Structure 1
């Protein structure tokens, strides 16, 4: 196993374990977080807020490095302007997240925890990704 694959596998397992242990792979918890006028559950807010500290540390460390520890250079995406396609994607993502209580990371964790409903979500998530690629190809032609 190459070092890149090992690092990616470790990061994925760590992320998945964090989602599972924190309960963030539970769709009910996510839906309760979004239900601000009903049975509101603020725990997701604390998880999101808690993610800011390690991310700030990671950006600080990144600024101190000439290159990443496991690559020859940093590969950061370009900044693109906010456009209709981005807004539509964000709206569709938000609607799907609100209805299902799942987004890609927790859905993949959910396949191990509650395979039935998570697998249905992942199948349609992959279908949506394929459709987005088809639309992008048509726009580029």
Structure 2
């Protein structure tokens, strides 16, 4: 269990380092990407494309293994199509991201920055969204 915790920590540190080095912890940079009619900044597309490319290649090899290195089995969704919950949730996430410029990862990473109170309402909203998700899964089931 300790090894799994260390793996989570290493992945989180790598993710946070990537966010910091790419400048994606800056909501102004993210909002600049979303401003296609104004001063558009394509940097987020490069960061996203790089992440998807690396993950795509890695998953190709990882899922060929009989089981994960630190687990008993792979946990892969069996969903094959988008449902109303996915579409509405994605739209709400996108609206929130577009309004404030914070994605959950950078908002969490910015907790390490002193005197940055603007991330607290974002994280409160994120927590509320997670709570609503848990409650709706309990009421209606996850799928």
Q: What's the CA shift string for 1:11-67, capped at 9, x where partnerless? A: 011101111111111100110100000010010011111123311221222143111
Unaligned runs of 5+ in 2: none
The 5 Å alignment of 1:1-141 reads 2-113=2-113, 115-140=116-141
Paired residues in the alignment total: 140
Root-mean-square deviation (CA, aligned residues, Å) is 1.7
SS of the residue 1:64 aligns to: coil
Question: Quick check: which one's helix share is greater?
Answer: 1
Task: Report the alpha carbon displacement of residue 133 of structure 1 after superposing the two structures with TM.
Answer: 2.6
TM-score, structure 2 normalization? 0.88
**Regions of 4+ moved over 3 Å:** 135-140
TM-score (norm 1): 0.89
The 1-side partners of 2:136 and 2:75 are apart by 26
Going from structure 1 to structure 2, the CA distance change for 1:139 and 1:73 (only over 3 Å counts) comes to: closer
| Deviation string, structure 1 residues 67-108 (Cα, Å, up to 9, x no partner) | 111112212222153121111101100000000111111110
- Which whole-Å CA distance do the structure 1 matches of 2:52 and 2:135 have between them? 35
Go from structure 1 to structure 2 and tell me whether the alpha carbon gap of 1:36 and 1:139 turns closer, same or farther (over 3 Å shift): same
Q: Distance in 2 between matches of 1:131 and 1:71?
A: 29
